[in-house]
Amino acid sequence: MMGCQVAPAQLFYDFCLDDHVPANHLLRGIDRHLELDSVRAQLRPFYSGTGRPSIDPELMMRMLIIGYSMGIRSERRLCEEVHLNLAYRWFCRLGLDGKVPDHSSFSKNRHGRFRQSDIRRHMFETVVERCLAQGLVGAEGFAVDASLIAADANKQRSVPGSEWEAKEESRFGLRPGYIAADSAYGSADNLAWLVKEKKIAPHIPVFDKSNRTDGTFSRSDFTWEAENDRYICPAGKELKQFHRTYATPRSGITAKGTRLYRASKRDCDHCELKPQCCPNMPLRKIPRDLNEDARDVARAIAATPQYEQSRHRRKKVEMLFAHLRILRMARLRLRGPCGARDEFLLAATAQNLRRLAKLRPLHGVIAA
């Protein structure tokens, strides 16, 4: 017989919200790892001591985490979803009849006090601390990658990277043994900073324009002899910076910040390999970057099995960007550098919480 659902006419219900959130729900896993005790203390100086009680900042932080974990980008929709979804209500400690903030008050707080107090960075660091405590961060190596995410930005009002306020890496006292990145990070300056200043092994492909494609010898066909400060060409002749002694010593550094090593014209004139080496020049010249030694370190590392391993690990960072797009972060909603920073901090916090929930689930329960 076909059943027919009739709205029950009970006046009172025995209903426990906690019973209706599945044990393996992602938000349960996130809730287990979320520590917001310090949020209130961090935000207290930004609230007045008198007047009407505000919306609970912890409630707003929980709502933001839902938004960035579940791909709900619109604040208006987030408020609606929290109002209707039992699991979201449970996560926000709202009960069945708790009032969900209006989306405009939510936005006002988010862009006002939250930004002034830098609470998002505080939360991000709290979650990273949790990852460290759970043994998910070893710091033997870091992987870096970049992805383009569209934003509403005015190029005329852009701020050079050098003027950005940089936060120290040293926040957690972590010191990576190596850094894996793609060739966009393989400039001589970057590599020199890593190798000489930070003493970190660069697992980075060298950004190299010296390879020739016209069939003539590339720089890699010449052998560098550091102890003699010279190159040896395929014909066994030497290329030096100076072929005579100057009365006034010269630095030998060109305007491009390189040292120029030259073969002897006499050697090149009589060389059988000249058509393959410098067919249109009287002699062969090889520029050497001032930080070429750092590039050589990166080239040597690229030939090791450890480099191959770190290259595979770097691919995991690419996956994180793909997940961001799945969570509808293909375009930033907030404007300006502060808006971008806020969005990325929240997205990274949500990603780390999702990872914690998945890798460190409740005892005996596999997280969704």
d(CA 222, CA 263): 11
The least CB distance from residue 289 to ligand SF4, in Å, is 20
CB-based contact 33:349 (threshold 8 Å): no
The least CB distance from residue 231 to ligand SF4, in Å, is 9
Nearest to residue 129, comparing CAs of 35, 32, 28? 35
By CB under 6 A, how many residues form the interface with ligand SF4? 13
Would you say 263 or 332 has its CB closer to ligand SF4?
A: 263
Would you say 207 or 217 has its CB closer to ligand SF4?
A: 217
Identify which range of 180-188, 270-278, 344-352, 357-365 contacts ligand SF4 by CB under 6 A: 270-278
The least CB distance from residue 206 to ligand SF4, in Å, is 23
First to last CA, the chain: 37
The least CB distance from residue 218 to ligand SF4, in Å, is 12
d(CA 217, CA 221): 6
- For ligand SF4, the binding residue among 72, 92, 277, 350 (CB under 6 A) is 277
**Is position 274 an interface residue for ligand SF4 (rule: CB under 6 A)?**
yes
From residue 298 to residue 337, what is the string marking binding to ligand SF4 with x (rule CB under 6 A)? ----------------------------------------
Q: Which residues contact 172 (CB under 8 A, 6 or more apart)?
A: 125, 128, 129, 132
CB-based contact 241:262 (threshold 8 Å): yes
d(CA 195, CA 299): 12
d(CA 92, CA 186): 45
Would you say 267 or 296 has its CB closer to ligand SF4?
A: 267
Q: Which residues contact 32 (CB under 8 A, 6 or more apart)?
A: 357, 360, 362
The least CB distance from residue 266 to ligand SF4, in Å, is 9
Would you say 136 or 273 has its CB closer to ligand SF4?
A: 273
**Is position 271 an interface residue for ligand SF4 (rule: CB under 6 A)?**
yes
Nearest to residue 115, comparing CAs of 42, 167, 170? 42
- For ligand SF4, the binding residue among 268, 327, 347, 357 (CB under 6 A) is 268
Within residues 191-250, the interface with ligand SF4 by CB under 6 A covers 233-235, 237
**Is position 273 an interface residue for ligand SF4 (rule: CB under 6 A)?**
yes
Q: What angle do CA 141, 146, 151 make, to 5 degrees?
A: 145
- For ligand SF4, the binding residue among 56, 125, 267, 293 (CB under 6 A) is 267
Q: What angle do CA 180, 185, 187 make, to 5 degrees?
A: 130
Identify which range of 125-133, 135-143, 177-185, 269-277 contacts ligand SF4 by CB under 6 A: 269-277
Would you say 22 or 234 has its CB closer to ligand SF4?
A: 234
> 3-state secondary structure string, 231-296?
EECCCCCEEECCCCCCCCCCCCECCCCEEEEECCHHHHHCCCCHHHHCCCCCCCEEEEECCHHHHH
User: What residues make contact with ligand SF4 under the rule CB under 6 A?
Assistant: 233-235, 237, 263, 267-268, 271, 273-274, 277-278, 284
